[in-house]
Amino acid sequence: MQKDLRASFNQSFSQEKYQAFLADLNKATQNSLEFRVAETPIFVPKAFKEKLMLTCESIIDVIVKDDFKAKTEKAIPAHQIVPNENKHTSFLAIDFAVCQDEEGEFVPQLIELQGFPSLFGFQYLLSETIQKHYAIPDNYDFMFNDFDRKSYIEAFRKLIVGDEKTENVILLEIYPEKQKTRVDFEVTERLIGVKAVCLTKIIKEGKKLFYMNEGVKTPIYRICNRLIFDDLTNFPDLKTDFNLTDDVEVEWIGHPNWFFRISKYTMPFLKNPYIPTCQFLSDYQGNFPENLSDYVLKPLFSFAGTGVKINIDKSDLTSILDPENYILQKKVQYQPVIQTTDGTKVKAEIRMLYIWQNDEARPTLLTNLARLSRGEMIGVRFNKDFDWVGGTVCFMEK
């Protein structure tokens, strides 16, 4: 996106340098990477960065309104409501495609958003390793709001640990040692001391929760939640002391209800030049747009792109029995924008990552992640056997 930096990076790139970078990244963790890391970071100029940030702020303006909770009550499935919801989400992730407008200018377009944590730990490590192996200009950074590496960790620790001891705070997952994102759990523990604990290892006694910490039964006062209900459906015979919907005496950092409230369900409430038109399917009452080839159908209650239908016709829409649980969104045309060393270009998606401290009125932009793609969609399964694709980070002009 920043032509001079891209040209300089590509000129100095070599497979040997990339393999050394990967080796160093894997060496820094006990868990080998289960997802592809791209050959390059993204260099984002200030003008594009400002478009991203202003669009995010317009989204936050909607989320902080007094009526937001009332508008999103139906976002939470009745059988998945978790008690003791806090006043706002602890995390906010906002995904944008890099596109091009009619004048040929690069612009962001919102893809989706979620009130759920992302790879805050891994992005810290990834950016550090990139800076070790590649020349990144001093006026480009992966952080925002004057954070440096020390204050990044301090803010992350304040959000998750708060005033508790680290042993009384856990990161909750289902079989964390098997998750593709387990490297993030490892880096998070290294940065702030909080361990990943499997749901099956939680001990419930009345309303109190415990886990075995190096053989010692230890109370849990705070849970950083990385577990979503969709994951539990993969284990229908799972036996646990604790269910997410139980009324227990813990503070959720990333309360499960916010995963639903801030999601695809939120998108019809958002209006901005960089946010594509979006409506609940039920709102059309059968009067669908004629140009359905310009739209994508998304189920509200799905994760990681499952159930998304890109090529639709009217019969796809009329056959849906619960249209209130779907959105029809104007298609976003990703523009191949990142020049590779073989002369081709790849698509890019940028995720802006916010934390929201309990004592603050609005979330704070902390960092970002990005993904490069040659496939029809961004996800890993659409980009198998390609190079210059996968996870990365943006360094944005200050």
Is the CB of residue 203 less than 8 Å from the CB of residue 57? no
State the pLDDT at residue 113: 95
Closest CA to 33 of 393, 285, 390: 390
- pLDDT at residue number 378: 65
Cβ atoms within 10 A of the Cβ of 245, count? 13
Q: Can you give the residue ranges of every domain in the chain?
A: 3-276+332-397, 278-331
The pairing of strands 42-44 and 91-100 is unpaired
- Predicted local distance difference test score (pLDDT) of residue 34: 84
CA–CA separation, 250 vs 39, rounded Å? 41
**Residue 88, phi then psi, degrees to nearest 5:** -155, 165
| Angstrom distance (rounded) from CA 389 to CA 236 | 34
With beta carbons less than 8 A apart as the criterion, state whether 160 and 224 touch. yes
pLDDT for position 288: 93
Write down the pLDDT at residue 386: 86
Output the pLDDT for position 20. 96
Euclidean distance between CA atoms 17 and 213, whole angstroms = 40
Q: Which pLDDT belongs to residue 221?
A: 98
Per-residue HEC secondary structure of the chain comes to CCHHHHHHHHHHCCHHHHHHHHHHHHHCCCCCCCCCECCCCEEECHHHHHHHHHHHHHHHHHHCCCCHHHHCHHHCCHHHCCCCCCCCCCEEEEEEEEEECCCCCEEEEEEEEECCCCCHHHHHHHHHHHHHHCCCCCCEECCCCCCCHHHHHHHHHHHHCCCCCHHHEEEEECCHHHCCCHHHHHHHHHHHCCEEEEHHHCEEECCEEEEEECCEEEEECEEEECCCHHHHCCCCCCCCCCCCCCCCCCEEECCHHHHHHCCHHHHHHCCCCCCCCEEEHHHHCCCCCCCHHHEEEEECCCCCCCCCECCCCHHHHHCCCCHHHEEEEECCCCCCCEECCCCCEEEEEEEEEEECCCCCCCCEEEEEEEEEECCCCCCHHHCCCCCCCEEECEEEEC
Mean pLDDT per block of 10 residues along the chain (398 residues) reads 90 96 91 87 96 98 97 93 96 97 93 95 97 95 97 98 98 94 95 97 98 97 94 86 95 96 95 95 92 92 74 91 92 93 95 96 98 76 77 96
Position 236 scores a pLDDT of: 83
| Residue 244: predicted pLDDT | 93
Q: What is the pLDDT of residue 305?
A: 59
Confidence (pLDDT) at 301 = 79
| Cβ proximity of 172 and 199 under 8 Å | yes
Contacts of 320 (CB under 8 A, 6+ apart): 281, 326
Rounded to two decimals, the pTM is 0.94
